Structure 1
């Protein structure tokens, strides 16, 4: 830019005294620009109005020092200007808007002529140019200008850094120095489009050749800059896009890697894939993905690479969890100055990465990877839940179908129990009904004795299996029937083929195509009636309610066997009377005798609702209050009632008693005497009863059973079947009321117990007792008097 003062230079006369003071003072007022005449001390001798206005004063400047009005006009500055014409002194006024004035000085004898020129416009342009130059030099992008012949006209420092050329080498050079011919032609096409108004800004991607001969991928954005004098110029900004291209390539690799997560089926697979992507694609120093195990309440490294101490896949515990546990619980990302970064993955865990030189783009890619990990873990979780639900539904459907098949078998089995007329028919009917099913291969029932399980009846294929296995209860590796005989508990094996080499019975079972087995104890009121074993031709999950169904079947079979045995005993014309001694320290009668320290005699025993027992006792030489106090110390005894004044009492025990169990299993009780923790009693059984089996069964629910005497005698219960017929016609409640009234002395004369007393014993109303007694008596008389 040309300085305006250059156009106003004047030739100075060699003789400066040629212009007298009078002429100078006449010249000053006629000048349009600020002017003044100064003496040797820079005091104003004469000044025009323009200078007064510039000084901002309303009065004359005569006799004032010009240096006081304009501090920049020092004496030295004035002398230098006089000696070197053209070096003007620039003054900025304080006016708004501010103005810039350049002063020039000429000496005329003893006086100095001062003339100012307004350079405000020039200074503004110069200031803007300086600002533009500073901006161009400070921005990181390379900026250049080209003329219409593709010649470089200007560059900033970033262009020098990018190309490796100095500005002197670039300015005036053709742009082909930096780019190939194809790029130049494409740039010219875009320039023509700019000039034609088809676009405002053009963008061109290409490669730039540096001074070292290397190529750099660049992106150039340029536009045309119109000029007042001459053709338009081309102004452009060049950016090195090598990092951008590398980022784009890395991003594409990450996206490809995350798409592969769609094929991951487990959380562990997701973790390993994410960690591999972080270290191999993003080139991170290390990465670990911790998964949360809700069942154990621990975080564990499911995937790890490049991080010391995590390759062992050990769960984090206690203080070792540290920042990982905090990030998981708080759900907030945390970074460490060393380059470690911890990102929460919702309810799934934490993603830990280590970057040697972390930057914004690395952080962006790690965040993308963390989001992908969380999305993949959520998908895997949903799919696992769906698979689990489907598997649960499938298992439920299979179990329902299995249960339906079992129920169908049990319905046939129940019918066989109803139709059976003997113990043998019960056992054979059960086994036959079970093997009619398409999934039961073999079923058998055995009785338990001192040596083991003795097979009584069986049905189905593979009966020789019983000869191939040991059924001794002393064999620790015996089949399920032996285990049930020892434990009196249900035994199941879902898949016999598992651990086939461990137990010999499994090999024998598999050889006969037995795949699963369930053994059920046949037990009633503490007495075993054998073991039922059922073998299936397929693996079976013996779970609830299937096991409960088989347990109920076992109860039904045991009850049926017991009922038929009782009928056999009751129907006999002859009987056997046994005298027994039994240790009863923990029974209600034994505890009562011990507390009273006397002998307790049992006169009548009435079983009640399956387990409870109503006992009529004689306690000699003991008052009622003492007996009542003693009963309060005996567990499982609900009440005691005085029956008569002759030391007779009614006692209700809510736990199974020895005498109650004996009656439930077919024994008729005679004398019962309890003293010194020992019970002496007589029982009457049918002559056909196996006494040894009866003694063994009794020993199952009490200790110290000893047979002291055995006598043959006529049956007291037959008598033409009157008792059996009466019990068959009465309900359980009617029979209980009748027996209670009889045993308590209701039918004696005079009565020892009233109807109200019987009602109190049974915890019912007296009208109810009277009704039951009237019905029972009528049915008894019908049996006696009717044909």
Structure 2
């Protein structure tokens, strides 16, 4: 009998956000490693030296990336302190010091020689986190193997005592003989980890090359199908609420012929916030997908939400035998679903920005359209949106308000549970510009999650209009449902195609040149070509100023003015849309 369960019913091997400490006196490298790792999967902190590292170490640290050659307190000293304190964390030495036989007695878990790449750093951290769940004897085996590999990568004549390699090999052979079954089990686990990381890299590369949602979905299916029996991606049908297959690989039917009602009749994508497991896949659905080709195996299906923030774009269905899925797959496919969602959102946003035409959706708003409508209705004022910045699930809005004393607006906003702060930016006789930070889910943020561009948001006494632009090939039905579903007083009243008049890059540059003084242009160009805007910076402000023969304060003054003119040119030169009603 088919059972459907959440993947969370199986306890994970490790915490959702392991703690990684990067220790290096090269601040740029430490910050770069933090940037590579700080993608929501880890909590990452930096220590710019050994002494600072000693003060940050504790039981909360899971992995340490540790430079060896640092002034005052070396990496070797920090490693010794970690073991003396009996801290249960994995340590990867990350250093420009070529390994020699002196490392044999050092209790590290991995050894990386600089320069290091992003993939080296991220894969090492991921492997060490997996190793943390191994039995101590097995962890010691892999640590010893890492030492052997580090020395083996050097020519024997470069080592102080080449015979150490033979001694290490003997220790490895002895440990393997004693714990062979456990070591082989963990080797298979690490091998699976390597394969799923390869899968993520393949998908990431495919997302870069794909330009549309359809291309992204098919690319993902083909990549995942290389490691599993079959893969499908489904979207929600706005009219019926059912699922329709839009891409597939490794299956025996065309996507349009696959019926998910034979798998489940109770799956609502809007409520899919976690991986679901169908174990086993019903015979009817197995035949539906594989046309009888998989009758000899008992299939399991993972249903993975494809999500960007709180927006669910669809679901990824992965079919395989039961023993081909484990807890690591759950974590990887969760990340994969988010990666696909990010890719779809980016593709639709790019199409929206670069397309010759867009689709305009116009909504009417009522009192149950979110925080801003409630404030407008309660105070009895008119409110228009000047700009909005998305910060995670929250939004910082800049609005122009009219028709009510600013004191009433501030008081109402401060008392509203959906607003964390209010700030009056400018105040005039008839209107004021106010900054509002919203805590709860907002129709504005929801629209941006769908890749929409907010064109207008006007309210008067709690009612008004909301206009967004979306890409022509976006799922307009899903967007309308996603906006009007949670916000019952948001009703779509118009859908129209809008043609764009584009402006050439050369024309934009001419307009900017007309606004910049020669000095401002020279400062902006010099800062750009010298790497001032790169991360890490190629040049400091002092170095750019010195190259131009001016003081740093003068540089900042010219640079800020030039940046403001650049931004003003970008926003003020947007051509108005021509509506085709």
1:10-49 alignment to 2 at 5 Å?
A: none
What is the CA deviation profile of residues 683-721 of structure 1, one whole-angstrom value per residue up to 9, with x for unaligned ones?
A: 3445565643431343354334422234554327x3336
What is the correspondence of 1:257-406 to structure 2 with a 5 Å cutoff?
398-406=188-196
CA contact (8 A) 2:376 2:383 kept: no
Aligned position for 1:449: 237
Q: How does 1:140-155 map to 2 (within 5 A)?
A: none
Match of 2:433 in 1: 648
Pairing partner for 2:457 from 651, 672, 677: 672
Match of 1:505 in 2: 285
Whole-Å Cα distance in 2 between the matches of residues 460 and 408 of structure 1?
Answer: 19
Q: Is the 8 A contact 2:236 2:478 kept in 1?
A: no
Matched, 1:613 2:392: no
Secondary structure of 2:415's counterpart equals coil
> CA 1:650–1:563 in structure 2 vs 1: closer, same or farther (change >3 Å)?
same
Provide the residue aligned with 2:410 in structure 1. Answer: 628
Q: How far does the alpha carbon of each residue in 1:140-159 deviate from its partner, in whole angstroms, 9 at most, with x for none?
A: xxxxxxxxxxxxxxxxxxxx
TM-score by length of 2: 0.50
1:211-610 equivalences under 5 Å are 398-437=188-227, 440-450=228-238, 451=240, 452-463=242-253, 467=257, 470-472=259-261, 478=264, 483=267, 485=269, 487-493=271-277, 495-496=279-280, 504-505=284-285, 510-511=294-295, 513=297, 515-543=299-327, 545-583=328-366, 585=368, 587-596=370-379, 598-610=380-392
Whole-Å Cα distance in 2 between the matches of residues 394 and 561 of structure 1? 39
User: Residue 702 of structure 1: which of 483, 487, 490 is its match?
Assistant: 487
Where 2:323 maps in the other structure, the secondary structure is coil
Query: Structure 2 vs 1, CA of residues 523 and 390 (structure 1 numbering), >3 Å: closer, same or farther?
Result: same
Q: 2: CA distance between counterparts of 1:686 and 1:495?
A: 38
1:570 and 1:425 map into 2 onto residues whose CA distance is: 18
TM-aligned CA distance change 1:691 to 1:778, over 3 Å = closer
Cα distance per residue 1:39-79 (max 9 Å; x no partner)? xxxxxxxxxxxxxxxxxxxxxxxxxxxxxxxxxxxxxxxxx
Partner residue in 1 for 2:67: none
Contact 1:612–1:652 (CA<8 Å) still a contact in 2?
Answer: yes
Which deviations, in whole Å up to 9, do the C-alpha atoms of 1:113-161 show, x marking residues without a partner? xxxxxxxxxxxxxxxxxxxxxxxxxxxxxxxxxxxxxxxxxxxxxxxxx
CA–CA distance in structure 2, aligned partners of residues 674 and 462 of structure 1: 52
Answer yes or no: is the 8 Å Cα contact 1:667–1:685 preserved in 2.
yes
Shift of residue 554 of structure 1?
0.7
Instruction: Go from structure 1 to structure 2 and tell me whether the alpha carbon gap of 1:492 and 1:397 turns closer, same or farther (over 3 Å shift).
Output: farther
Deviation of the 1:583 alpha carbon = 4.7
CA distance in 2, matches of 1:725, 1:426: 33
- Matches of 1:681 and 1:781, distance apart in 2: 26
Higher relative contact order (CA 8 A, sep 6+): 2
Kindly indicate whether the alpha-carbon contact (under 8 Å) linking 1:489 and 1:521 is maintained by their aligned counterparts in 2: yes
User: What count of residue pairs does the alignment treat as equivalent?
Assistant: 342
**Closer/same/farther in 2, CA of residues 781 and 583 from structure 1, 3 Å limit:** closer
Q: Deviations over 1:179-202 (max 9, x none)?
A: xxxxxxxxxxxxxxxxxxxxxxxx
Offset from partner CA, 1:412-432 (integer Å, 9 cap, x none):
222211222332221121111
In the alignment, the residues of structure 2 paired with residue 722 and residue 667 of structure 1 have an alpha-carbon distance, to the nearest angstrom, of 27
- Counterpart CA distance in 2 for 1:453 and 1:722 is 46
In the TM superposition, residue 658 of structure 1 has moved relative to its aligned partner by 0.9
Seen in structure 2, the aligned counterparts of structure 1 residues 686 and 710 have a Cα distance that, compared at 3 Å, is: same
Distance 1:478 1:712, change over 3 A: closer
CA distance in 2, matches of 1:445, 1:517: 12
**In the alignment, is the contact (CA less than 8 A) between 2:246 and 2:256 conserved in 1?**
no
SS in structure 1 of the partner of residue 267 of structure 2: helix
**Does the residue aligned with 2:224 lie in a helix, a strand or coil?**
helix
Partner in structure 1 of residue 120 of structure 2: none
What is the alpha-carbon distance in structure 2 between the residues aligned to residue 391 and residue 678 of structure 1? Answer: 69
SS at match of 2:468: strand
Q: TM-score of the superposition, structure 1-length normalised?
A: 0.38
When residues 429 and 566 of structure 1 are mapped into structure 2, their CA distance, relative to the original with a 3 A threshold, is: same
| Distance in 2 (alpha carbons) for counterparts of 1:621 and 1:572 | 39
Summarize deviations over 1:493-520 as a string: whole Å, max 9, x none: 37527xx6xx633576652746332111
Residue 556 of structure 1: how far off its partner (Å) = 0.9
- The root-mean-square deviation of aligned C-alpha atoms, in Å, is 4.0
CA shift in 2, pair 1:535/1:714, >3 Å? same
Distance 1:456 1:470, change over 3 A: closer
1:436 Cα shift?
A: 2.0
CA radius of gyration, larger in: 1
Residues 379-431 of structure 1, C-alpha deviation per residue, up to 9 Å, x if partnerless? xxxxxxxxxx9999887655444333222222222221122233222112111
Would you say the 8 A contact 2:248–2:254 is kept in 1?
Answer: no
Q: Over residues 596-634 of structure 1, what are the superposed CA-to-partner deviations in whole Å (9 max), with x where a residue is unaligned?
A: 2x1341231222333332222233232222222111221
Q: Deviations over 1:520-554 (max 9, x none)?
A: 111223333221111124524442x4312211111
Question: Which runs of 5 or more residues in structure 2 are unaligned?
Answer: 1-178, 511-554, 574-581
Partners of 2:487 and 2:358 in 1: how far apart?
Answer: 24
The gaps in structure 1 that reach 5 residues or longer are: 1-388, 727-766
CA contact (8 A) 2:244 2:259 kept: no
